[in-house]
Amino acid sequence: MRTIFFLIAFITEAILCVAQPVIRVEKQPFVNIGRSAYYWQDSLGNTSFKQVEQFKAERFSKGSSAIFNGGTSGKVWWMKIRFERNSQTLPYLFIDYANIDSITLFYRDTQGKLNMVSSGMFNLKKSDASLGTGYAFPLNLAKAPVGEVYIRMRAMNTLLVPAKLVTESVLNHELIKAYSLQLIYVGIALMILIFHVFMYIVTRSKLFALYFARVILLYFIVMVCYLQGYGLLLGQFASKFILVHAHFFIALGYICTILFNNYFLKLKRQLPQLNRFFIALIIGWALILICSLWDGRSITNALTQIFFLLTSLLFLYSSIQVIIIRGYAKNNPLIWCYVFGWIPVALVSIYFVFSLMELIPFQSYSFNLLTLAGIVEGILISLGLFGQRLRLLARHNAHFRRQRILLHEQVEGYRKQLNKKTALPEEPLSLKELIELAQSRDPSFMKKFKETEATFIEELLRISPQLLPAELEFCAYIRLNFDTKEIARTCRLSVRAVESRKYRLRKKLGIDGETNMHNWMLDLTNLS
């Protein structure tokens, strides 16, 4: 029974393949006709049109998706389309993708004469009907009512062919609508770019500079100039350079993004193992960058797909680990936008890589998904960056408030001590008793020391009013002739930490490096 089923299915497919149904141009919607077209791969790349024209119908394979995916091998493909129109209709073949190395269109007119039109990024002439994001071929001389069009195509990057066969009125109307939407996307991207330029000028933070580089490289150069074909507006030389070296800009953009992500999330401290993995990714992207300079498109295509997917997923994983699990955004919910910003990028990267590997078919909305994900990412990441700046400002303000309160309390305390007019003061302790209190870590040590050495404390504050209580205690140890190791043991610090504090005290009190600090402290007043 299964054999009979497969036999019926095979015969049905063969009949459909031989039949090659005709596409009607009248009232044809603005959709891709990839499933209605037929394809043949020219492995040698030198088959002439006359030979292809003589092929039997079953030699061509029927399209399986709306957008034809010819892979990244640089092979030559032929597309065959049969269409029907009346004599008053002017049909257009519109290929809505500019980054095809070469396209040659073949069709016969009513007298059987062959018409051939060559175009593509490497065959582009000033007279060609290029619309920025694709190529439009008028078929006014094609045979009516039923005509056949053969398209020879080749691309060393990814050969994607969203082909549409429509009337002139449909083409004009839909292109105006599509270009209006693209202008809105570009306008939003420009606003994001201006925001990061402004924030960099104000804060001088390299976070904004790195994300600014990402937007320029991956959105404006790769997505707008390369994928959408607007590089043609910069001139044929610039558009061809971007086409040939597209992976250079992609690799450079992702290197900047990895540095941005590592710096934003402090991965070197938060996730050191993942940080080392990102460093390995930077090396991988650098290899792609170098290979792309020698036009190694066949090599860099597969590597770019792998690193694109891996890097995008790791961005999302690292942001979840640091911001959600480790609570980096606990005091500022805006930083959560950083996590949400990488979600559409990760999902679209999975979709695109699987589509390029032909695990799932390309659809008509595929290119818009990438643009939309880039815009959503830009908005959310910008909000996350703004939230991070607010968090840092809040921390700095809180620190300055604490310092001001401590300083105020310290000044008030000393003022009360100096103005205190009470009965006879307590009998001052001897030097030996002060040393014993310090060595035993007695909490009352500093209180007794201030009472005994009030003049010494007053002189220190006169020289440097900004001395903190901990620094005054440090000066007390030095005046009592404690060496570095004794101070480290008493304060439970490392020797290096004690030496660092001594260095800072020298700077605050204006003691040069050659002066003995103990002698200097003794010289302030006579030791009791």
Q: How confident is the model at residue 16 (pLDDT cuts 50, 70, 90)?
A: very low
Report pLDDT for 255.
95
Residue pair 337/387 in contact (Cβ under 8 Å)? The answer is: yes
Buried b / exposed e across 110-131, counting CB within 10 Å, b at 16+?
Answer: eeeeebebebbbbebeeeeebb
Residue pair 501/474 in contact (Cβ under 8 Å)? The answer is: yes
Compute CA distances 375 → 26, 218, 348, 370, whole Å: 36, 11, 12, 9
For residue 136, the cross-strand partners are 94
Tell me the pLDDT tens digit for each residue of 150-200. 999 998 888 889 898 888 888 888 878 777 888 888 889 999 999 999 988
pLDDT tops 60 at residue 108 = yes
Judged by average pLDDT, the poorest of 105-114, 385-394, 425-434 is 425-434
Helix (H) or strand (E) holding 149: strand 146-154
Beta strand extents in 51-144 (DSSP E only): 61-62, 68-69, 76-84, 91-95, 102-108, 114-119, 135-138
State mean pLDDT over 442-454: 80
Tell me the pLDDT tens digit for each residue of 365-388. 877 888 889 899 999 999 888 888
DSSP string, 193-212: HHHHHHHHHHH--HHHHHHH
3-state secondary structure of 153: strand
What mean pLDDT is reported for the chain?
82
State mean pLDDT over 20-43: 82
pLDDT tops 80 at residue 351 = yes
Q: What is the largest CA-CA distance in the chain?
A: 127
Q: Can you read off the two tokens belonging to residue 401?
A: 């408030």
State mean pLDDT over 486-503: 84
Report pLDDT for 166.
86
Chain centroid to CA 307 = 13
Q: What is the DSSP letter of 37?
A: S
State the angle between helix axes of 431-439 and 484-491 in degrees (0 to 180), rounded to the nearest 10. 50
Written out in words, the top-level CATH class of the domain with range 20-171 is mainly beta
Q: How confident is the model at residue 422 (pLDDT cuts 50, 70, 90)?
A: very low
pTM, full prediction: 0.68
pLDDT tops 70 at residue 465 = yes
Q: Give CA–CA dist 319/317, Å, rounded.
A: 6
State mean pLDDT over 416-425: 58
Residue pair 212/200 in contact (Cβ under 8 Å)? The answer is: yes
State mean pLDDT over 229-241: 80
pLDDT tops 70 at residue 429 = no
**CB burial of residue 357 (10 Å; 0-12, 13-18, 19+):** middle
Report pLDDT for 42.
92
Judged by average pLDDT, the poorest of 40-44, 61-65, 142-146, 250-254 is 142-146
Instruction: Give CATH for domain 431-524.
Output: 1.10.10
Residue pair 156/74 in contact (Cβ under 8 Å)? The answer is: yes
Which residue would you say has higher pLDDT here, 78 or 453? 78
pLDDT tops 60 at residue 14 = no
* Phi/psi of residue 154, nearest 5 degrees: -155, 140
Report pLDDT for 12.
47
Locate the domains of the chain by residue range. 20-171, 205-385, 431-524
pLDDT tops 70 at residue 10 = no
Q: How confident is the model at residue 18 (pLDDT cuts 50, 70, 90)?
A: very low
DSSP string, 324-377: IIS-TTTT-GGGHHHHHHHHHHHHHHHHHHHHHTTSS---TTHHHHHHHHHHHH
Q: How confident is the model at residue 39 (pLDDT cuts 50, 70, 90)?
A: very high
- Most confident stretch, 22-31, 341-350, 467-476, 517-526: 341-350
Chain centroid to CA 474 = 49
Closest CA to 155 of 241, 98, 75, 246: 75
Q: Give CA–CA dist 389/386, Å, rounded.
A: 5
Q: How confident is the model at residue 216 (pLDDT cuts 50, 70, 90)?
A: very high
Residue pair 471/446 in contact (Cβ under 8 Å)? The answer is: no
Helix (H) or strand (E) holding 390: helix 366-419
Give the percent of the chain with pLDDT over 70. 90
Report pLDDT for 13.
45
